Amino acid sequence: MEVAQDDHRFRVVCAGRRWGKSVLARMVVLKWATEKPGLYWIVSPTYKQSKMIHWRDFAKEIPPEWIKKKNEVELSLSLKNGSVIELKGAENPDALRGVKLRGLVIDEIASIRNWSWLWTEVLRPTLTDYEAPALFISTPKGFDHFHKLYLTGQKKDGPYRSWRFTSYENPHIPKGEIDQAKKELTEDAFAQEYLADFRKHTGLIYKNFERSLYVIDPFDIPADWSLYRGIDFGSTNPTACLWVAVDKDNNFYIVDEHYETGQTIDYHAGRINANAFSARVTATYGDPSGAQWINEFAQRGIYITPANKETGTSKKNWVTYGIEKVAEKLKAQVGHSVPIVKNQLDDDKNKVSWRHGMPQLYVFSHCQHTIEEFEKYRWMEKAVSQAPDQNNPEVPEKANDHAMDALRYVVCSYQAQNLNPEEQEFPEQNLFDEDGFY
């Protein structure tokens, strides 16, 4: 009632499993449809889900004397007052264009991929004609687009308002049943699924990625470091190019990114060539299956080496292998030191600070898409019966993987320069304060 009667145009409900999210979705749409004749949608992640979750129940919940017509293929319900309620799946964006809606509900929005694109390009314009309201509902799935919406709704002013409810609040679900789930699940999974808590999602690939550790302020790249590019090609997906600087100790720094969707190859090549780091690049690595792209880029002065797919063993899948190599670089390494290179490095070459027990991979803070992908890139969900093993390796989801792929190409292909160990500088041990600086 609290959500249904609130008058914010954009409402966000973050609630636990079995809380009543889908019932709320239908009740709100029905309330709108009876108040104002027009077209209304409930969008679920897929058409199949829309049908499974909503179709049968809806037909039972709406008084039969209100219904004029039902179409089970279109998942459309026409009411006698002239309103039409349709159930949609987000996996087919072409079926979501070209209409004007009086109201929109998104159920399980956290499971919708490419949300920000779907919203700005496809769904948001359907609400413009009537300044129509929208309700966004989900159980949380980590720090993603739904989390952002939730935070927007927590601000005091503006058209958004958000709520959070736990599964315990549904009086129709026995409390003991939820307590039982608490015993069976990990603390994180229970907090996410039943307490509707935003936790790091359990299926994350780079679980340890923390902004506080891996994201650093940009600094000038010393002239004797090498620079590489990794490119992942895409037209409906983003084309992602990363510039990766490598220091004398093989630490990787993602120093810049180009990340854009739906542009021409001329445009991408123009942007990549115009980047100041490009002049210093030693090699560029790209998707080995993208021969046509490699060709097209070459015609525009960007010469791409297909990424090295060797894994050292025939058993390993090269994607998983590359992910492992990136994960290794992210791991804090005992005895590994990195220079704290601030911008003063060039002015004051003699005073470099070092930090110990550090990872070998960093991202400059303006590379926002790369940072977000690190935080979202996840394994495909699998049934418990299909536990990963050598014949059935884990597979990443085909989403939030563009900068991640570009990085993988560099990490798999880059040959460490043969450093003479005597040339590597290590600071003397007794000069550090407790934070590892001197």
Ligand X SMILES: Nc1ncnc2c1ncn2[C@@H]1O[C@H](COP(=O)(O)OP(=O)(O)OP(=O)(O)O)[C@@H](O)[C@H]1O
Over the range 196-232, which residues count as b (16 or more CB within 10 Å of their CB) and which as e?
A: bebbebbbbbbeebeeeebbbeebebeeeebbbbbbb
- Select 137 or 326, whichever has its Cβ closest to ligand X: 137
Kindly state the DSSP code that residue 390 receives in the 8-state scheme: T
Residue 337 touches Mg ion, criterion: CB under 5 A? no
Cβ pair 216, 353 in contact under 8 A: no
Kindly state the DSSP code that residue 126 receives in the 8-state scheme: G
Q: Is 428 helix (H, G, I), strand (E, B) or coil?
A: coil
Residue 36 touches ligand X, criterion: CB under 6 A? no
Those residues whose C-beta lies under 8 Å from the C-beta of residue 67, and which sit 6 or more positions away, are: 59, 77, 78, 79, 80
Q: Measured from the CB of residue 170, what is the shortest distance to ligand X in angstroms?
A: 5
- Select 16 or 290, whichever has its Cβ closest to Mg ion: 16
283 phi/psi in degrees, rounded to 5: -155, 155
- Beta strands (DSSP E) in 217-275 are 226-232, 238-246, 252-261
Contact stretch for ligand X (CB under 6 A) within 10-18, 115-123, 335-343, 411-419? 10-18
- Select 14 or 134, whichever has its Cβ closest to ligand X: 14
- Beta strands (DSSP E) in 54-109 are 67-71, 76-79, 84-89, 103-107
Q: Which of 3, 10, 14, 22 binds ligand X (CB under 6 A)?
A: 22
Residue 60 touches ligand X, criterion: CB under 6 A? no
- Select 172 or 351, whichever has its Cβ closest to ligand X: 172
Residue 111 touches ligand X, criterion: CB under 6 A? no
- Beta strands (DSSP E) in 114-225 are 134-138, 160-165, 215-216
Contact stretch for Mg ion (CB under 5 A) within 17-25, 281-289, 331-339, 413-421? 17-25
Residue 21 touches Mg ion, criterion: CB under 5 A? yes
Size of the site for Mg ion (CB under 5 A): 2
Contact stretch for Mg ion (CB under 5 A) within 14-22, 194-202, 265-273, 316-324? 14-22
Per partner kind, with CB cut-offs from 5 to 8 A, the member of ligand X, Mg ion, none near residue 139 is ligand X
Q: Which of 44, 139, 192, 360 binds ligand X (CB under 6 A)?
A: 139
- List the x/- string, 149-178, binding to ligand X by CB under 6 A: ---------------------x-x------
Residue 20 amino acid letter: G
Cα 271 from Cα 228, distance rounded (Å): 16
Per partner kind, with CB cut-offs from 5 to 8 A, the member of ligand X, Mg ion, none near residue 251 is none
Cα 216 from Cα 13, distance rounded (Å): 34
Over the range 358-391, which residues count as b (16 or more CB within 10 Å of their CB) and which as e?
A: bbbbbbbeebebbbbbbbbbbbeeeeeeeeeeee
Per partner kind, with CB cut-offs from 5 to 8 A, the member of ligand X, Mg ion, none near residue 410 is none
Contact stretch for ligand X (CB under 6 A) within 20-28, 311-319, 371-379, 413-421? 20-28
Residue 278 touches Mg ion, criterion: CB under 5 A? no
Rounded to a whole number of angstroms, the CA Rg of the chain reads 26
Cβ pair 50, 172 in contact under 8 A: no
Q: Measured from the CB of residue 21, what is the shortest distance to Mg ion in angstroms?
A: 5
Q: Which of 8, 23, 204, 340 binds ligand X (CB under 6 A)?
A: 23
Residue 22 touches Mg ion, criterion: CB under 5 A? yes
Q: Measured from the CB of residue 139, what is the shortest distance to Mg ion in angstroms?
A: 8
Instruction: Enumerate residues 337-366 that contact ligand X by CB under 6 A.
Output: none
Residue 201 touches Mg ion, criterion: CB under 5 A? no
Residue 83 touches ligand X, criterion: CB under 6 A? no
Cα 112 from Cα 125, distance rounded (Å): 18
Residue 265 touches ligand X, criterion: CB under 6 A? no
Binding residues for Mg ion, per CB under 5 A? 21-22
Binding residues for ligand X, per CB under 6 A? 15, 17-23, 139, 170, 172
